[in-house]
Each structure stands twice: as structure tokens, then as C-alpha cells.
């Protein structure tokens, strides 16, 4: 398989498509936490019990031909890392692969973690602002599973989960946002802090505990008890649209008040990306953020609008090693990362 073929095979659906409101919203995700009645949560379950969960879930989804279950132990450490970099599983999920499995739909828009913090973590991730569609798909998969699995459910409390903060609907809805304008006008902290006071979580690129590099943030709901799924989705959409409006206003202010400086920043970043010989992952995120801003504002043309999302993944450590086909040291990664980005910008 050639490097280009490896690239096409590796990229998942949300990274290949620009999506609605794609200038600000990179992706939308809905995740449902579910557990099986009468079986301890994964952190307390015995080996035989956890294996029984894997077997039961596999049987429940067996009728869906586009789903494939893979036990985590059957994957190499590199393949597990790539799943994290695609946002299909959590970093914590791959730390101990024993008695764990992942179910993926063919296009990887749907993933199910088996025996993470909960017995099932059903996830749908779509490009752009698509929370309602993500919830619709997640709900369908949840119904399919529930038809064959006995969920732990309480009439008063809702779905029972390992972490009390997920009890109720068990749903986390989130959007991945690109907010370079708010950062450049020094308003990001103020806007995001206001969202925190309204009951939303704001995290970095890879969720809880990660930093927001490249102007990328994850916005998600905090409350799962006392609200319906539809109410949560509508509240998330309202908050997201407010952030989009703030971000677009910041970009227009930059064009109006500091256009030359903005153009200089964007074109410098483009020049470095197109011609550098070494590129660290942190620098790549920062420069790609500038490049996407230039594309979205029409200051740079001739490149696909989803390019930043593609390169966001392709420049990660696991992806690079899968593309090159061998293990890479830090300096080698910086070399191949620079070469890959330059080739994609030149259309090679």
C-alpha cells in the first residue's frame, strides 16, 4: 500500500467532510453511557463478567453488517493510539486493553467502547454542526442494543452509570470548535468562562485533562439528570450558535482593524508549512490553525476547506508512523510531518 493509499484508508468520516458551520465547528459528537443490569461496573467486574459483557454486546450488534467488533488486545499499541487520535476511543480506554473491545461502523462515524468506564459507550461523531443528526443515529443504535441487552435503569434516576455525573440520560453532547478569532482579540477566556457558568464543560482537543492547542476547544454539557436528551441537544445548539456568532464577529473585527497584520500572520504560517523541513506537532497545530482561518476568510484559496481537519489527524504521532510504515523517533517524526504537510499543500 502506498503512503497516499494509507492516508485515504486512515482518515475517518468527520475529518473528510467540511460540514455545516464548518468554519467554526469541526465536528459534533453524541455519546451515551450504558451498563448491563446485575453486572458490576468495569472497574469492579471480574474477568469472566467483563468477557460476558463483550460477548453479549457482540451478539446484540451482530445483525448490523456495517459493524465490526475488535478486541483491544488484538490491536497493536500503534493501532490503539490511532483510534485515540481519531477521537473514536478515549485515551483512558487503551491504557489497559484486557477484556475491552471496540465496535466500529465501516465509515467510523459510529464507535462503541465496550468496558471502558461503563459497559457501553455508544458514540456518534459527524462533521460540522450536526448534533441533532448525531443524536438521532445514537438513539437508533441505543434502541438496537437495548432490544437485546438488559440495561441498568431506574425509573426515578434514569440510566445508572459508573460516574454519578452521567446518571440520568447518560448522554454527553459535544462540539469541537475552532476559535482563533476570539484568541487573537483576547476574548476567548471571557466567552468560554461565561459558558462554564451556564453549565457547560470546556476542554482541549482530546477532552478532559488536555490543553486547547491550535485554538481548538471541546464544548459539552454537564447536566445529565433532570433534562431530556432533546432539551440537552437544544441547549447545546443555542450555546454553540452564540459562540459561532462571537467567533465570526471577532474575525470581522480583525479584518476591519488589523487586516494587514492578519494577512501577514496567515501567509507566514502558510509559507512555513509549505517549505519547512522540520515540524513539531505543537507548531503544526498552531500553523494549521492560522491556515484554516485564512481559508475560511477567503484570504487563501485553492485548498479544500477540510484540509486543516485532515492534517490535524495526519500530523499526529500514530498517524505518521502508520503512513510511513515504521516506528519513528522524535526528530524523524518532525521530518516526516513537515514533508507530509508540504506535499498536501502542493497537492502531491
Rounded mean pLDDT of 247-272? 97
Class of 7-252 in CATH: alpha beta
pLDDT score at 142:
96
What is the per-residue pLDDT for 3? 64
Q: What H or E segment, with its residue span, contains residue 105?
A: strand 101-105
Report residue 272 as a C-alpha cell: 512555513
Q: Which long-range contacts (CB under 8 A, 24 or more apart) does 242-245 make?
A: 243/24, 243/177, 243/179, 243/191, 243/195, 243/219, 244/21, 244/24, 244/25, 244/129
Which of helix, strand or coil describes residue 99? coil
The three-state DSSP-derived secondary structure of 150-192 is CECEECCCEECCCCHHHCECCEEEEEEEECHHHHHCCCHHHHH
What is the average per-residue pLDDT within 219-244?
A: 91
Q: What angle do CA 247, 251, 256 make, to 5 degrees?
A: 145
The pLDDT assigned to 244 comes to 97
CA dihedral (247, 248, 253, 259) in degrees, to 10, reads 110
Residue % of the chain over a pLDDT of 70: 96
Round to whole Å and give the CA distance between 295 and 274: 15
pLDDT, position 212: 59
Which range is least confidently modeled, 164-168, 193-197, 240-244, 309-313? 193-197
Q: Residue 148 — pLDDT band, cuts 50, 70, 90?
A: very high
Closest CA to 60 of 128, 149, 176: 149
CB contact at 8 A, 34 and 119: yes
Angle made by CA atoms 266, 316, 251, in degrees to the nearest 5 = 25
Is the model's pLDDT at 128 over the cut of 80? Answer: yes
Tell me phi and psi for residue 329, to 5 degrees. Answer: -80, 170
Q: Which of 3-7, 123-127, 223-227 bottoms out in mean pLDDT, i.e. has the lowest? A: 3-7
pLDDT(318) > 60 = yes
DSSP string spanning 34-75? E-BTTS--TTT--HHHHHHHHHHHHHHHTT-TTEEEEEGGGS
Q: Which residues of 50-85 are buried (b: 16+ CB within 10 A; e: fewer)?
A: bbebbebbeebbeeeeebebebbeebeeeebbbbbb
Amino acid 319: pLDDT: 94
DSSP 270-307: HHHHHH-S---HHHHHHHHHHHHHHHHTTSS-SS-TTH
Domain boundaries, the chain: 7-252, 258-345
In 3D space, the residue among 64, 65, 119, 114 whose CA is nearest the CA of residue 88 turns out to be 114
pLDDT at 207: 47
Report pLDDT for 118: 97
CA distances from 323 to 77, 287, 320 (A): 15, 21, 5
pLDDT at 81: 96
Locate 176 and state its grid cell. 469541537
pLDDT of residue 1: 66
Whole-angstrom distance, CA of residue 188 vs CA of residue 27: 19
Q: How confident is the model at residue 227 (pLDDT cuts 50, 70, 90)?
A: confident
**pLDDT at residue 209, rounded to an integer:** 43
Distance (Å, whole) CA 110 – CA 91:
17
175-221 pLDDT tens trace: 999 999 999 999 998 998 888 888 888 886 544 444 457 899 999 99
24-41 per-residue burial string, b: 16 or more CB within 10 A, e: under 16: bbbbbbbbbbbbbeebeb
Amino acid at each position: 500500500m502506498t503512503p497516499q493509499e494509507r492516508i485515504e484508508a486512515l482518515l475517518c468520516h468527520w475529518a473528510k467532510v467540511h460540514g455545516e458551520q464548518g468554519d467554526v465547528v469541526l465536528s459534533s459528537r453524541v455519546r451515551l453511557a450504558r451498563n448491563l443490569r446485575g453486572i458490576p461496573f468495569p472497574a469492579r467486574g471480574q474477568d469472566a463478567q467483563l468477557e460476558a459483557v463483550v460477548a453479549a454486546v457482540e451478539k446484540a450488534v451482530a445483525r448490523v453488517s456495517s459493524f465490526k467488533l475488535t478486541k483491544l488486545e488484538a490491536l497493536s499499541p500503534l493501532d490503539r493510539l490511532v483510534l485515540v487520535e481519531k477521537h473514536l476511543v478515549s485515551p483512558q480506554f487503551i491504557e489497559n486493553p484486557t477484556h475491552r473491545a471496540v465496535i466500529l461502523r465501516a465509515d467510523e462515524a459510529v464507535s462503541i467502547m465496550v468496558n471502558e468506564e461503563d459497559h457501553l459507550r455508544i458514540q456518534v461523531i459527524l462533521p460540522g454542526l450536526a448534533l441533532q443528526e448525531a443524536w438521532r443515529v445514537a438513539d437508533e443504535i441505543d434502541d438496537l442494543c437495548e432490544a437485546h441487552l438488559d440495561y441498568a435503569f431506574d425509573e426515578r434516576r434514569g440510566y445508572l452509570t459508573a460516574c454519578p455525573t452521567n446518571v440520568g440520560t447518560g448522554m454527553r453532547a459535544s462540539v469541537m470548535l475552532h476559535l482563533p478569532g476570539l484568541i487573537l482579540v483576547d476574548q476567548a477566556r471571557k466567552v468560554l468562562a461565561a459558558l462554564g457558568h451556564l453549565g457547560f464543560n470546556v476542554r482541549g482537543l482530546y477532552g478532559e485533562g488536555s490543553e486547547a492547542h491550535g485554538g481548538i476547544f471541546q464544548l459539552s454539557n454537564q447536566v445529565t439528570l433532570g433534562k431530556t436528551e432533546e432539551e440537552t441537544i437544544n441547549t447545546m445548539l443555542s450555546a454553540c450558535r452564540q459562540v459561532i456568532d462571537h467567533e465570526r464577529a471577532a474575525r470581522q473585527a480583525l479584518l476591519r482593524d488589523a487586516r494587514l497584520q492578519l494577512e501577514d500572520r496567515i501567509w507566514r504560517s502558510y509559507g512555513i508549512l509549505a517549505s519547512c523541513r522540520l515540524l513539531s506537532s505543537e507548531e503544526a497545530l498552531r500553523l494549521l490553525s492560522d491556515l484554516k482561518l485564512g481559508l475560511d476568510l477567503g484570504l487563501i484559496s485553492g485548498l479544500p476547506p477540510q484540509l486543516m481537519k485532515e492534517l490535524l489527524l495526519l500530523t499526529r504521532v500514530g498517524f505518521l508512523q502508520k503512513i510511513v510504515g515504521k516506528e519513528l523517533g522524535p526528530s524523524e517524526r518532525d521530518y516526516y510531518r513537515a514533508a507530509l504537510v508540504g506535499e498536501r499543500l502542493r497537492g502531491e
